[in-house]
Amino acid sequence: IDDGAPTGEGQVVCIIDTGYYSDHEDLSDVDLVGGLSQVDGNWAEDGYGHGTHVAGTLSAVNNDLGVVGVTPG
């Protein structure tokens, strides 16, 4: 990651999707605050995977596992 690249630190975003897998290793340092799955109402367990994928694309931490999101900080 470019040291001068924006990290997204302090930014707030809203993802409207299938929820997210709250224990995912790439989202461990991300402050994910509640919500509601637009599919089955259970936001903390993403049985479909799409919401977790979107959250990771946006905010996956740089932890040498998996991917790094576009705003990892």
- Give me the pLDDT at residue 8, please: 77
Output the pTM of the full model. 0.75
Structure confidence by residue, pLDDT tens digits, 1-53: 566 667 777 778 888 888 788 788 888 877 777 666 666 666 667 777 888 89
DSSP secondary structure string, 13-72? ----SS---TT-GGGTTS-------TTTS-TTS-SSSHHHHHHHHHH---SSSS---SS-
Spatial contact of 1 and 66, defined as CB atoms under 8 Å apart: no
- Give me the pLDDT at residue 57, please: 92
Segments making up each domain of the chain, as ranges: 1-64
What is the C-alpha separation between 19 and 43, in angstroms, rounded? Answer: 4
